[in-house]
Structure 1
Amino acid sequence: MVFNFRVFKKQAPNGKLTMYLGKRDFVDHISGVEPIDGVVVVDNDYKDRKIFGQIICSFRYGREEDEVMGLNFQKDLHLATELVYPPPSDKQNFTKLQDRLMRKLGPNCFPFTFTLPPNAPASVTLQPGPEDEGQPCGVHYYVKLFVGENETDRSHKRSTVSMAIRKVQYAPSKQGRQPCTVVRKDFMLSPGELELEVTLDKQLYHHGEKIATNICIRNNSNKIVKKIKVMVQQGVDVVLFQNGQYRSTVASIETQEGCPIQPGSSLQKVVYLVPLLSTNKDRRGIALDGQLKRQETNLASTTLLASPDQRDAFGIIVSYAVKVKLYLGALGGELAAELPFILMHPKPDNRGKVIHADSQADVEMFRQDTMDNDIDE
């Protein structure tokens, strides 16, 4: 038994350039991002041409159907550019994937490696409405190889190959401090106060897990608590806009069990909520993890930053919080408490590798990616 690599393959429309990538999800470890490594196979007809590679971060912040009179709601950032062919004269350190592909694909195979800046925004898509058309708003990444005289040369669609990739983050290996808060409210011309204590069973949740919210209410006032509402709210901050922050409720439950809570009494109960994309289908503006074509996705993961100052202007910051509200009637008003938490995927094991027998045909090592070109001419 030997290790083989499953790769993604994409060819230019004219068949002269073929790109191979070992994976399309590249992990942001906060301190740095995994290098993007792959190879390109160059046809003999292009041996006298220059081939450049780029990593493009495409940030769409408005709908395509609203682009009129030259108005454009998309910005493309070139985060990395290098000359792929002719290859540099200095000796490079190849990855195992590159070394194996170069031996398999022959002398016309040339490696490339790109490095993303640590503060590059995560791949996030804002869910379009049912009637929306065109590319959804959000942050998208592409690896692009093209033929030109220099790196700023205009690329032509027939001699360009591009493949969508994602910049992702995975959950930390350790739990943080257990979230807990206590809020109190007193009332004018009324003695005593109403106290609400909210505790989560942990700080870090994985997608699909139940969130257990422990609620303790102590009513030392003369008001009556009539009902309780518990919500999971997703916060989205589009950094480009000063007023680009908004919240969406992605899971909620309203209950009168144990109510009304009379003066001098108390209540303790646990409420379970599971935030899922399946219960938020067709809701415009819900943040989703960046998705590749024909792949299912989920609610966007929490965005982890090394420091609050490392917020890229073209990024989308996602956060989550549990909010508990007590309703006291028209005269008593409301009392609310809020606890932030982290919602992410656990880090998978052995990503990008599969084991095959020695006798397996070489063609099974590759998986053809049949996506259409993602970047227009």
Structure 2
Amino acid sequence: MRRRKDEGIALILALLVLVILVVVILQMTASSLHNRTLAENHLSDLQNTYGARAGYARALLFLQEDLEKSPEVDSLRERWATPLEFPMGKAQVKVSIADSERYINLSQLVNDKGEVNPTVASQLKRLVKLLRHTPDIADRIIDYIDQDTKGEFEAKAKNDKLFNMDELLRIEGLTPEIVYGGVIQGQETKGLREFLTIWPKAPPEGGTGTAGMVNVNTASSEVLQSLSDLMTPAVAEAIVNYRTQPGTDGKMQEFQKVDDLKRVQTMTDGIFTSIQPQLVVKSSTFEIRSRGTVANVEKTWVYVVQRKGGGTATPVTPPPSSGGAPPPPAATATHTLIGAQSLNDFTSAKPPEIEK
């Protein structure tokens, strides 16, 4: 009887050990699969980072080529304005470039002393009204950025320039629908983000640049309408339509100088006079969005580059050649990286290190 009892206890202990072993094996298997998934995601993230870096490098080549070919004009007919897609190892890379001068620049909303720039403030207020947002939205943004404490919405104001555009969500009263667009009170509404930028935060080294100016060759109808109370939707659309019509070379037309706006049939002297001081036909700052995708993992970096000297090519006298060979080509102004940020990273603006 005692022997059977001992055998029963031994059987129970054996089963208990077996259960423990099964649990340990299952745990080790799950941990191994988890670590494998982490390693694969890390590898994909690394591949995407290098893919985004390759997209940035290729975008720089396009911008440099454009600067050498047409240093006085930047428009949507140029090569850099067309999105690019190419494979990079296992990553699929998509790159798009947008000049900052097509937007209203919130960094120019205040001067170095923190005082409000009335021209940019008026642009912002017109844009808010045009997009059918409540008028207080513009005042909330202005109070958040300017350095005085006299506004109506100063309670949670930063009183400094924005770190990035996503910071608009930190302003009390600005919802994701207002910032990015969406349904507001049953009506589909465009977001402010589509028409605003914070770049450049300062003029480029060696020139005044085009900070705070609007490029008539790239700006949207909404931004053009925000330049003056006299500007009508019909005139703004006529400007955009003029750019999309083919010229003598079969490509989209562009304004070679601001005075060319007078060619637009609906343009009046009053409208032209009111918007002319705010316009340029070339850009000096460009936002490069480069996204790498591997399987279901993607990573997007936004790089901001600025042309030295305000976007004008600056030839340098080459050294004399020998043996009758033609001299090397003259050097031109380069593009300087002034900002970079992972699209989903709110707190860090440190870019991946880029070899020179």
Q: For the superposition of Structure 1 and Structure 2, which TM-score range results when normalised by the shorter chain? A: under 0.3
Q: Structure 1-normalised TM-score? A: 0.23
**Normalized per residue, which structure has more strand?**
1
Give the structure with higher Rg (CA). Answer: 2
**Normalized per residue, which structure has more helix?**
2
